[in-house]
Structure 1
Amino acid sequence: MRIAVSGSIATDHLMVFPGRIAEQLLSESLDRVSLSFLADRLEVREGGVGANIAFGLARLGLRPVLIGSAGADFGPYRSRLEEAGVDTGSVRVSETLHTARFVCTTDLDQNQIATFYAGAMAEAARIDLADTHREADGLALLLVGADDPDAMLRHTATAHRLGVPVAADPSQQLARLTADQTRALVEGTFLLFTNEYESLLLLERTGWSEQEVLDRVGTWITTRGPDGALLRSADGTRLAVPAVPAQEIADPTGVGDAFRAGFLAAWSWGLSYERAAQLGCALATVVLASVGTQEYKLVPGELLPSIERVYGRAAAEEIGPHLARRA
């Protein structure tokens, strides 16, 4: 039984603005913004939330199944993912469209302004999850990440029909989803992932209260940047997990995806949600220190001391053997 990750596959164009975006915004003129930022650095990297999470799972020794749609230019990217340990057999390759593009500008405060071009992602709804489920001899979990909205809804419905647990991670697509679509993605999910802003947007989109969301999901996991993560359940359980302090900050892009990969890997190993969130936070800090969402190296001998320093020896002793097996 394997983990499948559905979501965007993209090429990232990452730029750095050596100033503060907030200082360029005039409160009295927000209804007619026209700004251009002179960036002093550009990095072109492979990314997309689906590919990023699958890559992170592979880095942790799993063989995840990536589900998404890419363009005819996907060949080199496919080879790189396969070499890392990602199963790309369920990736659809468009005959006419380019792989999606993510263009992002980051300022000195790690604030970001980004634009996403869907490209081949528009064909993701043509993928049938049932085929992947059959070819994998059953899926243990499907993470539904930001993707073409129709694909997200179709994959969620199919997973529920097949009895495959769903982890919902609508992230950037919350801005496009309707109230009914958002409710359909959340209802009955095993896990729900958001960041702090997305958690507020999800409440606004669904029209539900926090408790009404919790009544419909297994566990709601909210990432909080330098404050770590918060886990909530309908029974009143609230668990705050602190972040692993960053020694170096290079680029925040992909940090949330790394958290999800760490969390799901630990879950697949049978560890507690607390340990899963701790590994997620530790991996997120590793990604924060690199430019690009899939450029990091994972060295257990370096990761475990951070886990022990922040979370204690028991955490390192429980997580360590699993990391050692993939070293």
Structure 2
Amino acid sequence: MRIAVTGSIATDHLTVFPGRFRDQLVPDQLDHISLSFLADTLEVRRGGVAANIAVGLARLALTPVLVGAAGRDFADYAAWLENNGVGTASVRVSADLHTARFMCTTDADHNQIATFYAGAMAEARHISLATVAQRTGTPDLVVIAPNDPEAMLRHTDECRRLGIPFAADPSQQLARLDREETRRLVTGARFLFTNAYEAALLLRRIGWNREEVLARIGTWITTLGAEGARLEARDGRAKHVPALPSPAPADPTGVGDAFRSGFLAASARGLPAATAARLGCALATLVLETVGTQEYKIVPADLLRRIAETYGPDETAALVPLLTDLP
């Protein structure tokens, strides 16, 4: 199964504040906040939602096509992606702008405050999925991940016009979308990905209740952090999948992207949604235990052992062919 992943390509600047953000907030001064956090560490890593998802898919032996816009500083990143199984021929490289930057500070409770500079990502609106399909073959699924909002809308409309199934992942860009735009991104999606906060925000933005959203999509997958994930189907059935526990969390950046990689890779192999979510939770935990969104390693025997301890032998058996065939 060929998956095209559209969305952001970025460089991550990750800092850690050893205190707690909440301790720095003065309740009666929230209308004019002016805060600075002294960070103990700085990590500069490869990132971007689409690139993170594509790397995860490649680690699970798929051949994803990355579709997005990067800057004139992209050459080293592109070479690294190609060497790790991610096709970059459909990435637009800006002649003038730098690759997007994600600047994030994480506190002692794993809360985060972040700023995203779009840079070259703004040029993603000029990318045509029809051209990508001519170059690489028509994908079996297109992931519409956070990106330049006009690009997200264009890609979603193209999927409908070309008859290509798509997964909607509006997440951070919900704050920039109005009601009609949110409806355009969601309607007809095979999968809808949100976290718990984004699910509530989406319902506010879209102007439909939960049942009305579910009537227009395939499966709604909501990640719940340490509580795992919730799956909701069009027929109203819901299922909760617990998280894979972690004894040593390090950095939550990119955890949701890893979940999507695991879920989509398992779905691509025809596994049920609940089983796919368990693999998603397992990959999410690997990223949680690693600093950097693409630095984790998959050790099949170890991951299968942890899956068995959490979900039992039946679920482990379902995932054995996928994980043991990894290069």
TM bin (shorter chain): over 0.9
Q: 1:243-262 to 2 correspondence within 5 Å?
A: 243-262=243-262
Is the counterpart of residue 90 in structure 1 residue 65 in structure 2?
A: no
Is the counterpart of residue 240 in structure 1 residue 240 in structure 2?
A: yes
Report if the CA contact (8 A) 1:2-1:136 is conserved.
no
Match of 2:317 in 1: 317
Q: How far did residue 137 of structure 1 move?
A: 2.2
Distance 1:309 1:153 in 2: 42
Report if the CA contact (8 A) 1:74-1:99 is conserved.
yes
Is the counterpart of residue 150 in structure 1 residue 150 in structure 2?
A: yes
Match of 2:66 in 1: 66
| Secondary structure of the structure 1 residue equivalent to 2:250 | coil
Match of 2:224 in 1: 224
Match of 2:301 in 1: 301
Q: How far did residue 165 of structure 1 move?
A: 0.6
* Runs (4+) off by over 2 Å: 134-137
Q: How many residues align structurally?
A: 327
Report if the CA contact (8 A) 2:214-2:236 is conserved.
no
Q: How far did residue 326 of structure 1 move?
A: 1.1
Gapped runs of 5+ residues in structure 2? none
Judge which range, 309-318 or 99-108, deviates more.
309-318
Match of 2:134 in 1: 134
Report if the CA contact (8 A) 1:61-1:326 is conserved.
yes
Q: How far did residue 318 of structure 1 move?
A: 1.1
Report if the CA contact (8 A) 2:71-2:99 is conserved.
yes
2:260 counterpart letter in structure 1: R
Distance 1:176 1:33 in 2: 22
1:153 counterpart letter in structure 2: L
Distance 2:269 2:247 in 1: 28
Match of 1:189 in 2: 189
Q: 1:265-304 to 2 correspondence within 5 Å?
A: 265-304=265-304
Q: How far did residue 234 of structure 1 move?
A: 2.3
Distance 2:301 2:263 in 1: 19
1:19 counterpart letter in structure 2: G
Instruction: List per-residue Cα deviations over 1:138-194 (Å, max 9, x = no partner).
Output: 211000000000000000000111111110001111111112111110111110000
Instruction: List per-residue Cα deviations over 1:113-151 (Å, max 9, x = no partner).
Output: 000000000000111001112222221100000000000
Instruction: List per-residue Cα deviations over 1:240-267 (Å, max 9, x = no partner).
Output: 0000001211100000000000000000
Judge which range, 184-193 or 127-136, deviates more.
127-136
Report if the CA contact (8 A) 1:146-1:172 is conserved.
yes
TM-score for the superposition, normalised by structure 1: 0.99
Match of 1:29 in 2: 29
Distance 2:202 2:195 in 1: 10
Gapped runs of 5+ residues in structure 1? none
Distance 1:56 1:35 in 2: 35
2:64 counterpart letter in structure 1: P
